[in-house]
Structure 1
Amino acid sequence: MKITDAFSKAADAVAEAAGHPASFVSCCLLIIVWGIAGPFCGFSDTWQLVINTGTTIITFLMVFLIQNTQNRENAGIQAKLDELVRVAEARNDFIAVEKLSEDEVLKLRKALIALGETARETPLAAG
């Protein structure tokens, strides 16, 4: 198994678990327990450091996991859209349009807006 496959599986599992309501409730309970422990720890620097360090590490790691799952999801959606464009006999130059530069996409968008405005100005034939 390649490392990318293992990472993808781990990212999916963590994203699934992190999005579960039980995870949210568990985190809330953890914060409550931490808050209750404050007076017993004298609201010390160590007491504060525990929550700060824990949340920072979790946030740092979650960014990469979430980005990985988003990248794969977006690639899958884009592949589906490309296939729909291909089989619909639409303009095939729209396939992989997300790979164009920002200026090229803006130019294409302006051209499509102009086409839409022209279409709205043209009266429909009476049925």
Structure 2
Amino acid sequence: MSTSVNENISGFEKVSNTITTYSGSSPVFIAAVALILIWGISGPIFHYSNTWLLIVNTGTSIITFLMVFLIQKSQNKESIAVQLKLNELIAANNNASNRLLNIQDLSEEQLNTLYEHYRTLVELTQKAKSNTQSHSVEDAIESTEEAMKDDLLKHDKN
């Protein structure tokens, strides 16, 4: 029983995907600008009445309210998809560490601490002049210490 991935998508999902795609397109942007221009030009015709003002205020408020949730839904979906793709790449690479597969579940403080560890890793691998020499902060420290010892031994011989 072979089913297409798109066959399992709900009606709401299809509608929200379509709206997300079209709302970010050039024709929709041009249409939005045209509507605002028409509304602005019609001001003198309606004597800049409260109803005239209310039309654009209400319309933009409703659209903005709905778009916030649509954008967040789209962002959540894209984030999960990117995480899954990255996890697949990590799992497929024999040299990659899988310790960070669920990193998105860490707190911001834990992420900042981990970020500092990886900044240290970058600095140490740059000193070792090899970006593929190590795969963890611990390995980088160890290999850098070994390289520094080797440099000291070479220096002592001279």
Letter in 2 for 1:65: L
Match of 2:93 among 79, 88, 93: 88
- The residue number in structure 2 matching 1:109 is 115
Question: Which residues of 2 match residues 33-112 of structure 1 at below 5 A?
Answer: 33-89=38-94, 90-112=96-118
Identity %: 39
User: What is the CA distance between 1:57 and its match in structure 2?
Assistant: 0.3
Runs of 4 or more consecutive aligned structure 1 residues displaced over 4 Å after TM superposition: none
Q: Calculate the aligned-residue CA RMSD, in Å.
A: 1.8
User: What is the CA distance between 1:49 and its match in structure 2?
Assistant: 0.7
- The residue number in structure 2 matching 1:24 is 29
Query: Is the contact made by 1:85 and 1:94 (CA closer than 8 Å) also made in structure 2?
Result: no
User: What is the CA distance between 1:36 and its match in structure 2?
Assistant: 1.6
| TM-score calculated relative to the size of structure 2 | 0.71
1:11 and 2:38 are equivalent in the alignment: no
Partner-residue secondary structure (3-state), 1:49? helix
User: What is the CA distance between 1:18 and its match in structure 2?
Assistant: 0.9
**1:64-115 per-position Cα deviation (integer Å, ceiling 9, x unaligned):** 1111111111100110001111111311111021111112211211111112
- Cα distance in 2 for partners of 1:30, 1:49 equals 15
- The residue number in structure 1 matching 2:139 is none
**1:16-65 per-position Cα deviation (integer Å, ceiling 9, x unaligned):** 11122111111111111111211111101111011010011001101111
Higher helix share: 1
- Cα distance in 2 for partners of 1:117, 1:91 equals 19
Letter in 1 for 2:98: N
- Cα distance in 1 for partners of 2:22, 2:121 equals 46
- Cα distance in 1 for partners of 2:27, 2:115 equals 43
Query: Is the contact made by 1:8 and 1:69 (CA closer than 8 Å) also made in structure 2?
Result: no
Structure 1 unaligned segments of length 5 or more: list them: none
- Structure with greater Cα Rg: 2
- Cα distance in 1 for partners of 2:88, 2:64 equals 36
Query: Is the contact made by 1:15 and 1:66 (CA closer than 8 Å) also made in structure 2?
Result: yes
